[in-house]
Amino acid sequence: MGQQELTPPKELSLEQAREEFLALQEQLAAADQAYHQQDAPFLSDADYDAAKRRYLDLIDAFAELGAQATQKDSVGAPVTSGFGKIQHVQRMLSLGNAFDDSDVADFDRSIRNYLGLDNRAPLAFTAEPKIDGLSLSLRYENGCLIQAATRGDGTTGENVTANACTISDIPQQLIGAPEVLEVRGEVYMSHADFAALNARHEERGGKIFANPRNAAAGSLRQLDAEKTRARPLRFFAYSWGDLSAPLAQTQMQAIERLAQLGFKTNPLTCLCSGVVDMIRHYRLIEEQRATLGYDIDGVVYKVDDLALQERLGFRSTTPRWAIAHKFPAELAWTRLEAIDIQVGRTGALSPVARLTPVTVGGVVVSNATLHNEDYITGLDSKGDVIRGGKDIRVGDWVQIYRAGDVIPKVADVDLSKRPEGAEIFRFPETCPECGSPAVREEGDAVRRCTGGVICPAQVTERLKHFVSRAAFDIEGLGAKQVEQFYSDGWVKEPADIFDIKEKYGAGLQQLKNREGWGEKSATNLFMAIDEKRNIAFGRLIFSLGIRHTGEVAAKDLAQHYGDWDRLVTALDQARPAALAHRTADEAEERERLKAAAEDRRARITETRAAAIAACDVPAEATAAWDDLISADGIGPALGLSLSDALANTDERAAFDRLLAHLTVIPPEAPSNDSPVAGKTVVFTGTLEKMTRAEAKARAEALGAKVAGSVSKKTDILIAGPGAGSKATKAADLGIKVMGEDEWLAFVGSA
Ligand code: IVH
């Protein structure tokens, strides 16, 4: 094919071009399937590339063909994964967990507090099994199933529409549904179907799945939908996303409505009048667990009244109105063969238990976390005694517990079976990877390698973090490839990734014998890397892997500073105040933090003020530091580690080298159709229509920043009865003051 003389696209008629285009489209789709499933690739890399180039050239020359392109990934983007990406209109969230009855009571109490309901006010919940499968969002428009997406990272999922269409529990047409309806639920496999599937695979030497959830996930994510059809998948509907009209007024009625529309809903779903009733239902479901015929790992409670669900809203990744009450963890005894130390990206030394493999709740476990050195000694993170103070030694007979997806843990030690001569475990004081001293700072449960960039483990872990899904998410560049490139000496820091093509491109394309590489995969990788040269500011900050900077904090920082230059300028300016903060008595500060979470900011300020007084910090530094740590979601611990990272000249130079390859996409401005977007507001006095927590969450949802104290930056003070010094200060500073009703009218929710 590479040799064939091709007519330049411009010399073709539209009809000729269309004919060739459709033939190529079919061929590329078939080649993709063959390649990705590693069944039997029938095109060489070179032929594949030539076909794809021609396909793209035809689209370039005839815009009409672009609209017909079914292989979306092939148009302008690499055929990176077999599935297209789908942005969820409403995020797919996870659930908070309750582990015992008192957590359930706390859940009820926190909802009442948030809504300002007293203990006698009725508050009903639904209770239903938590299905152990994988969630799926089905979009119907005018009653037709038009799209099915996996959860992915909650914001973007994979397009598995063709696969979903093969599941008989999923209706493809609905009668009487709202114009737009996104139904969400769980895809799962029954025990009987799972056993039969594994038996079939065993006979034919196919893949054996560890449990029904893995089998369901593997089956749904088949690139060939016909393979999915042959797998016995099922689906329970339990919630919804985007809607053009409400389904009902209560959760229970909404589930009934979904059942009327033709979805399978779980028959054990019921309405509970309160905590006692919820726990009773939990026990009933737990008793039936073994005979249900499919895996469940707990019971989900949801506030029944949908208007209250709306008021309660969401935290960053979980709804306030629902919780999963998990079943107790599963337990098993086995031998601890060795304790290995792994070094993480921040240098943390984490002990891992290597075990004689044992089955815990249907899954074979051979590793478990031992958390840190105190945990091995018999102390928890607060310094309290655990396991009756029994330490853990190599050779011990240990009890393992596994709860859902959580990494298995060592719960107990049987001292009667301790081998004679078993030695107390000595936690290393040097890094097992690079030999640098491993130090444990006062108050930190974790011992850390001080090697920084000379420690290969820290460097590779940071690189793995950099390419991970919530960070740069570079298709074709995962942990394995990063390790390979690091050991080849090609990639030592993130910036090197963007130089691979230029420096080693030709070499990589010829690496046919090396696992996974060839001309096509190398070209795909280069395209995937190029795609990420434009990166959202929040993702960039998260990807740097700075301690304490999680996804949410990174987004908050991006929102606060808007771009990289402003962030580093502010941090440079704040540096003297950050150092002064460190000199403050940290132990005292922790006590203070523990003592009054409510008064957090004020107390930090007090401690910091003492330190600053001692260190003679310039006023701009104090102002820049205050601005940083009073930003939404940012505290002094994050402030300090960010400041340390940027003040470290090696790290700073590596960040600059990276930035030189990138165009940073600024964060979206908070929704500007709200009159309070971007404004700083302070609540004071007694609120009568809602609790302080609800007022704060609602203001934040409208894009306002809610501060704890009045300053020059405050835009609006909302003062209820009993407002005191804050109202006086606001008046002095000429800040707008509103009553609660005026505020509600202003934001349009009176
Ligand atoms: S409700 C906004 N109900 O559990 C919350 N989730 O741990 C929507 N799950 O991602 C979820 N059974 O995949 C809900 N009856 C049930 C469920 C359920 C299983 C899964 C779901 C979710 C995960 C959270």
> Is residue 94 lining ligand 1, measured as CB closer than 6 Å?
yes
- Token output for 141: 């428009």
Question: How long, in residues, is the chain?
Answer: 750
Residues 261-289: tens digit of each pLDDT: 999 999 999 999 999 999 999 999 999 99
Q: How many helices (H) and strands (E) does the chain have?
A: 28, 24
pLDDT tens digits along 508-519 = 776 666 666 777
Q: Is 4 or 477 the better-scoring residue by pLDDT?
A: 477
In the residue annotation, 705 being an active-site residue is answered as no
Model pLDDT, residue 1: 38
Q: Is the CB of 322 under 6 A from ligand 1?
A: yes
Question: CA 391 → CA 319, 378, 394, 419, 687, distances in Å?
Answer: 39, 5, 10, 14, 52
Say if ligand 1 is within 6 A of residue 501 CB: no
> Going along 610-667, which residue ranges are E strands?
663-665
pLDDT at residue 96 is higher than 70 = yes
Q: Residue 132: CB within 6 Å of ligand 1? A: no
- Is the domain spanning 339-439 CATH 2.40.50.140? The answer is yes
Q: Among 90, 93, 99, 131, name the best residue to mutate to test ligand 1's pocket (greatest count of ligand atoms within 8 A of Cβ).
A: 131
Annotated active-site residue in 52, 130, 532, 555: 130
Which DSSP string do the residues of 16-37 spell out, in sequence order? HHHHHHHHHHHHHHHHHHHHHT
Per mean pLDDT, which range of 74-78, 80-84, 365-369 is the poorest?
74-78
201 contacts 136 by C-beta, under 8 angstroms: no
Show Cβ contacts of residue 203 under 8 Å, excluding neighbours closer than 6 positions: none
pLDDT of residue 33: 61
Within this chain, domains 9-68 and 451-532 share the same CATH topology: no
Cβ of residue 309 lying under 6 Å from some atom of ligand 1: no
Name the β-bridge partners of 131.
296
Contact present, 643 and 575 (Cβ < 8 Å): yes
pLDDT in tens, 367-402: 999 999 999 999 987 788 988 899 999 999 999 988
pLDDT at 598: 41
Output the CA 554–ligand 1 centroid distance in Å: 26
For 326-331, what is the mean pLDDT? 86
Give residue 37's pLDDT band: very low, low, confident or very high (50, 70, 90): very low
Q: Whose CA is nearest to atom 18 of ligand 1?
A: 130
Domain 451-532: state its class.
mainly alpha
pLDDT (average), residues 576-590: 69
Q: Is the pLDDT of residue 99 over 80?
A: yes
The pLDDT assigned to 74 comes to: 37
Residue 531 CA neighbour count, 13 Å, CB half: 19
Cβ pair 301, 323 in contact under 8 A: yes
Is the separation of the CB atoms in 20 and 8 below 8 Å? Answer: no
Check: CB of residue 189 under 8 Å from CB of residue 174. no
Q: For ligand 1, is residue 88 a contact (CB within 6 Å)? A: no
Q: How does DSSP classify residue 415?
A: G
Take atom 6 of ligand 1 and give the residue whose Cα is closest.
130
Is 130 near ligand 1, meaning CB less than 6 Å away?
A: yes
CATH number for the domain running over 680-747:
3.40.50.10190
For the chain, what are the domain ranges?
Answer: 9-68, 85-326, 339-439, 451-532, 539-665, 680-747
Nearest atom in ligand 1 to the alpha carbon of residue 269 is 15
CA contacts within 13 A on the Cβ side of 10: 0
Span 669-691, pLDDT tens digits: 766 678 888 889 999 988 888 88
Cα separation, 741 vs 739, whole angstroms: 6
**Which CATH code fits 9-68?**
1.10.287.610
Looking at the structure, give the CATH architecture of the domain made up of residues 539-665.
Orthogonal Bundle (1.10)
Q: Is 128 in the pocket of ligand 1 (CB under 6 A)?
A: yes
Between the CA of 732 and the centroid of ligand 1 the distance, in Å, is: 50
pLDDT at 46: 58
Q: How far is the CA of 361 from the centre of ligand 1 (A)?
A: 21
- Residue 184 CA, ligand 1 centroid: distance in Å: 9
* 85-326: CATH number: 3.30.470.30
Amino acid at 343: V
Tokens of 125: 């919940």
Residue at 20: amino acid letter: E
Summarize the confidence of residues 498-502 as an average pLDDT: 91
Whole-prediction pTM value?
0.63
State the average pLDDT over residues 456-468: 95
Minimum mean pLDDT range among 81-95, 278-292, 576-590 = 576-590
Contacts with 249 (C-beta within 8 Å, 6 or more apart), sequence order: 305, 306, 307
Could you identify the atom of ligand 1 that is nearest to the CA of residue 94? Answer: 24
Distance 681 CA to ligand 1 centre (A): 34
Strands 736-738 and 270-272: unpaired
Q: Scanning the structure block, which residue is given the tokens 């489209």?
A: 25
